[in-house]
Amino acid sequence: MTKIDSKIPEGPIAEKWTRYKEHQKLVNPANKRKIDIIVVGTGLAGGAAAASLGEMGFNVKVFCIQDSPRRAHSIAAQGGINAAKNYPNDGDTIYRLFYDTVKGGDYRGRESNTYRLAEVSNNIIDQCVAQGVPFAREYSGYLANRSFGGALVSRTFYARGQTGQQLLLGAYGALSKEIKRGSVKLYTRREMLDLVVMKDGRARGIVVRNLFTGELERYSAHAVLLATGGYGNVYFLSTNAMTSNGSAAWRAYKRGAYFANPCYVQIHPTCIPVHGEYQSKLTLMSESLRNDGRIWVPKKKEDVEKIRKKEIRPRDIPEEDRDYYLERRYPAFGNLAPRDVSSRAAKERCDAGYGVGPTGLAVFLDLKDAIARLGKDVIKARYGNLIDMYERIVDDNAYETPMMIYPATHYCMGGLWVNYELQSNIPGLFVGGEANFSDHGANRLGASAIMQGLADGYFVLPYTMQNYLADQIGVGPIPTDSSEFDNTVKDVQARIDKLMAVQGKEPVDYFHKKLGHIMWEHVGMARNKAGLEEGIKLIQEVRKEFWSNVRVPGTPKGINIELEKALRVADFLELGELMARDALHREESAGGHFREEYQTPDGEAMRNDKDFMYVAAWEYPGDDKDPILNKEKLEYEAIEVKTRNYKTA
Amino acid sequence: MDLKLKIWRQASPTDKGQFVDYDVLDISPDTSFLEMIDILNDKLVEKGDDPVAFDHDCREGICGMCSMFINGHPHGPEAATTTCQLHMRKFKDGETIVIEPWRAKPFPVIKDLIVDRSAFDLIIQEAGYISVSTGGTPDANAVPIKRENAELAMDAAACIGCGACVAACKNASAMLFVSAKVSQFALLPQGKVEAKKRVKEMVAKMDELGFGNCTNTYACEAECPKEISITNIARMNRQFIGAKLG
Amino acid sequence: MSNKPYYSSVTKKIIMSLMGLFLVTFLVVHLTLNSFLLFSNNLFNAGAHFMGTNAFIQVFQWVLFAGFAIHIFYGIVLQIQNWMSRPKGYKKRASMEQSAFSRYMIYTGLLIFIFLIIHLGNFFFVKMGWAGNGIPLTSNGEENMAQLVRSLFQHGGYVTFYVIMFLLMGFHLDHAFQSAFQTLGLNHKTYWGFIKGLSRVYAIVVTLGFVIIPLFVYFKIV
């Protein structure tokens, strides 16, 4: 497609990033002070980018939705962060990390971006150690590694089960240092409600709602970076935080940015199962549990019944009556099969009627053998905090009885389309972290999300944004009273007024739950044409109902939580439809997108490389028109495209 | 189960505020505490009332956003648990539950149960980091770190910045929070370069913001959802003495 | 920071704890001297005489008073700051303190301060000739402090007051001793249990020591 220019530098893959840096434009220190940058989001990507750009001398304005930058949802990443350090000397290289990530993503990511990710992965570990991140260490005092799903080497660095927290606090420290220095200005409890695009097509600002006062505020800059995370909360129940939302990305889409591969959503295999109707979120149990936990369901249906009725305990079922289905189906990777494969396998067993737990939507993760082999103390040291957390939520002791787990929406591989520079098709709008689409293809491997967030934030965006800003030094300060700003604020105000005016009967969550249910059933782990078409219809119906029957109490002034939620859900109701449309158009199975029509006889995903080896970048043509599909063809030069196979190594 | 709630309602920072009684009926013991408040809020919205404003986000005990003072304890009576991971099975049917915001001068109430904790950010901004810029760092394995020290640093770094220590302390002291950060870096060779400056500046900031003094009641440790140890406070005191003397 | 006109909270606490530990040692000396009364009046008088005439002690007692003054002054300053740091309290607050008596330090402290003044009025002021009718003399014409003490301990009301005050002192000490170590940063996991134990033993021994003397005198055991 001619409209899409991914700006991949020339040269062999291992040299592209170096060449880019060697030839990119720079801004001299005196001029950096004249340049403003807006960063929305203070997670790993946003926090790291804001800190690094501030260090370089730019004026950075950073926005977060919570009361402190330290609370961004990156904090919840548990298991670890990948890097090709090869400290354990097990044969890891940058190429191998790149290869695993592309393969794990089912050959639907942009090769050059993924290679760069692997390339800077080692710098991330160096950076974080220098910041005082207390990674796990061996008795020798050197860094410890563990293995993770989808890899044959141990390349995951970790800080207990709180790796994301520690990395985020590292970035938060760096950000705090710059705030103190005055190069970064922090705006908390602000939610971005729109992007300001100038007549010349450049992104020049944002409109935010101050969540304390309810005021709409305008901020301008020479470039805008969105690092606002994923849109997993479209499913209502997910492992995302309550305020995680897709609105910033969605608003950018409606201002002209392409939305890429929205149907690629990762369902995480090891979450605590749903317990009831009022459940507000799903809690992830780190995938690292799969290193020592064996996943199974009973072989016999009568055992399933007895367990559900609590007539027998799970541990009473003898070995020969247990179906360790991952080990059975994927002998090479076993319990460490990639996330999408493991999730679908769990769903397959539960759909076949072998699910355990009160709802029948759960499988066992059993630490029994690991405890027998390594002792309870070792297991406690490795997973103690997870096991404690499980007990707090479920009231079960995982040392005594297997845990129950079930897949849940976790991560969005899709996101705003960006080129090699992580710049969207709107000049001046950059997108980092989970909010962009680029590095993970159709599926993300474990311990790679925080790697990408920090890679984008510390080592990619500070370079590429500078390249863009080099010709902006003569622009001067950008006023916030231009007609573009006025109009954008007017649009936002109109949206808020419209919501307040509905005065219907049902609270926002009623619609969110309804939408979530449709998404899970029709645009979930396994999709098909009829289901997706039905889903689109249902989403449209809920959207109509929402706009005629939602109840937002109070006024737009001051704190109004229902209004905040309503604004987000209104966007989810549109985004959900685009996801379904994307899933419908992609007539193949790839990674997190599994179409039931396209599977091998033994139930594995079947790609269609001939027709679908492209990025689907959706363009917004206006509310009354269907979105326009732009295609970025994916070319693999450094890697041979294969069918993913986790049965043999 | 049925419960009686006594919740602090305060419309704005300047409003006087008062306790309001609510009944919530037919709650499943498997519901989390915040889900129970969600249910209450749904009812309030249906009636056209203003829902109870409270801070929460990740609901998995790591973001540090939730901050309710429940029945006399920050994050409620269960040890090592944040409000969001507290479940109703820990309460008795028919029980009256008193829910208040954190109370401390540096944490002013914004609305209902929401307080402004930016004082914590200000303390960290003062010196709660290692002043390293992006890039140019040595190989991560260049300096081995004793495993015990790395583990102790991790124990301290587990702080989620929720402010329960301040809320619990009869003096509204922030010593546990500050000492956790000071300790983390004091235990690591990377942090030693700026250690003296760090401890002096962070303590000065903490005082300036109006937090109380530590009188070693150790309530903070008992109530900390992440079980941060008071040995961190002792380590900070040690650091402080060292910094002042040399 | 050093250019600020006031001490930081931690510095104030360190001064408090150093003065406190100083007073803790003083109590041991005082108790040792008091316990002579259990053995003989002469021994007690000799001890009192030594304390009253030794040049070092004479100078040192003013250091001791300064120690008290600083400890009390900072105790009050810190407490006022602490009250100010929570202008509005909780409706329902559980007892969360792990060091039980830490909650009442200001109250036990102030009562001990009142006791101290009365105590000084009974003995020190009398000795200095600022109050009372002077110290009775022995047959040898020496000051008979033992006689003065014993006559006071004949009053049931005074003994009761004295015992109660020392129980409060015991509560104060139970927290104070180990707390001083924590403030000085001397908390290490391998000997923290020992310090806490020592703190409690010290509090109990000192309290019992001070309490049994008037009781023994009152009930004519010695």
A173 shares contact with chain B (CB less than 8 Å): yes
Per-residue pLDDT at A200 exceeds 60:
yes
Nearest to B223 among C85, C96, C183 (CB): C96
ipTM of this complex = 0.98
Q: Rounded distance, CA A227 to CA A248, Å?
A: 9
Q: Do chains A and B touch (3 or more CB pairs under 8 A)?
A: yes
The answer to whether B10 contacts chain C (CB < 8 Å) is no
Residue C3 has pLDDT above 70, yes or no: no
pLDDT at A578: 98
Neighbours of A442 (CB within 10 A): 30
Listed residue (A442, A436, A441) closest to A460, CA to CA: A436
Strand order across the A259-260 sheet: A415-416, A259-260, A614-619, A628-633
pLDDT of residue A409: 94
The answer to whether A408 contacts chain B (CB < 8 Å) is no
Please check whether residue C76 lies inside any domain of the structure.
Answer: yes
What tens digit of pLDDT does each residue of A78-94 get?
A: 889 999 999 999 999 99
Least confident segment among A49-63, A282-296, A510-524, C159-173: A282-296
Name the percent of chain A lying above pLDDT 70.
Answer: 99
In this prediction, what percent of chain A has a pLDDT beyond 90? 88
In chain C, whose CA is at the least distance from the CA of B224? C96
Residue A480 — pLDDT band, cuts 50, 70, 90? very high
- In this predicted model, what pLDDT tens digit does every residue of C69-104 receive, in sequence order? 999 999 999 999 999 999 999 999 999 999 999 999
Note whether A554 contacts B: Cβ–Cβ < 8 A. yes
Test B31 with A276 for CB contact under 8 angstroms: yes
B119 close to C (CB below 8 A): no
Mean pLDDT of the region A144-148: 89
| Per-residue pLDDT, C116 | 94
Nearest to B218 by CA among B183, B184, B175, B186: B175
Distances (CA, A) of B111 to A424, B58, B59, B164: 38, 20, 20, 18
Q: Where residue A322 falls among pLDDT bands split at 50, 70, 90?
A: very high
What is the three-class DSSP state of A413? coil
Return the H-helix or E-strand segment holding B161.
none
46-75 of B, contacting C, C-beta below 8 A: 69, 71-73
Asked whether the predicted pLDDT for residue C160 surpasses 90, the reply is yes
Strand partners, A217: A208
Question: Cβ contact (<8 Å) for A71 and B153?
Answer: no
pLDDT above 80 (res C5): no
Tell me the average pLDDT across A165-170: 98
**Chain C within 8 Å of B102 (Cβ-Cβ)?**
no
Q: Which two tokens stand for residue A598?
A: 């396209």
Interface contact flag, A134 B48, Cβ < 8 Å: no
Domains identified in chain C, total number:
1
User: Does any CB of chain C come closer than 8 Å to the CB of residue B193?
Assistant: no
At C43, which CATH number? 1.20.1300.10
What CATH number is given for B3-111 in this structure?
3.10.20.30
* Interface probe with B: pick from A185, A552, A561, most Cβ of B within 10 Å: A561
The answer to whether residue A2 scores a pLDDT higher than 70 is no
- Taking contacts as CB-CB distances below 8 angstroms, the residues of chain B near A127 are 132, 134-135, 137
Q: Which pLDDT score, from 0 to 100, does residue A338 have?
A: 82
Spatial distance between the Cα atoms of A156 and A152, rounded to a whole number of angstroms? 11
In degrees, rounded to 5, the angle at the alpha carbon of residue A461 between the alpha carbons of residues A455 and A464 is 130
Handedness of CA A545, A549, A554, A557 (dihedral sign): positive
Contact (Cβ atoms closer than 8 angstroms) between residue A272 and residue A282: yes
Q: Closest approach of chain A CAs to the CA of B2, in angstroms?
A: 16
User: Is C165 a member of any domain?
Assistant: yes
Give the pLDDT of residue C127.
Answer: 79
Mean pLDDT value across chain A: 95
Residue A285 confidence (pLDDT) above 60:
yes
Provide CATH code, domain A268-410: 3.90.700.10
Q: Do B216 and C102 touch (CB under 8 A)?
A: yes
Quick check: B236 and C13 CB within 8 A?
no
- Residue C52: predicted pLDDT: 86
Nearest CA in chain C to B171: C82
B119-245 CATH:
1.10.1060.10
Using CB atoms, pick whichever of A128, A283, A559 lies closest to residue B60. Answer: A283
Q: Domain spans of chain B?
A: 3-111, 119-245
Residue B217 to residue C102, Cβ atoms within 8 A = yes
Any contact of B with C, at least 3 CB pairs below 8 A? Answer: yes
**Closest residue in chain B to residue A244, using alpha carbons only:** B57
- Of the residues B33, B67, B125, B197, the best mutation for testing chain A's interface (the one with the most A CB atoms within 10 Å of its CB) is B125
Query: What's the domain range around C30?
Result: 9-85+99-218
Between CA C115 and CA C165 the distance in angstroms is 7
Of B87, B114, B140, the CB nearest to A393: B87
Using CB atoms, pick whichever of B61, B121, B130 lies closest to residue A389: B61
Which residue of C17, C74, C86, C102 to mutate against B (max B Cβ within 10 Å)?
C86
Q: In tens digits, what is the pLDDT along chain B, a chain of 246 residues? A: 999 999 999 999 999 999 999 999 999 999 999 999 999 999 999 898 999 999 999 999 999 999 999 999 999 999 999 999 999 999 999 999 999 999 999 999 999 999 999 999 999 999 999 999 999 899 999 999 999 999 999 999 999 999 999 999 999 999 999 999 999 999 999 999 999 999 999 999 999 999 999 999 999 999 999 999 999 999 999 999 999 997
The residues that bridge with A429 in the sheet, in sequence order, are A224
Confidence of residue A649 (pLDDT cuts 50, 70, 90): low
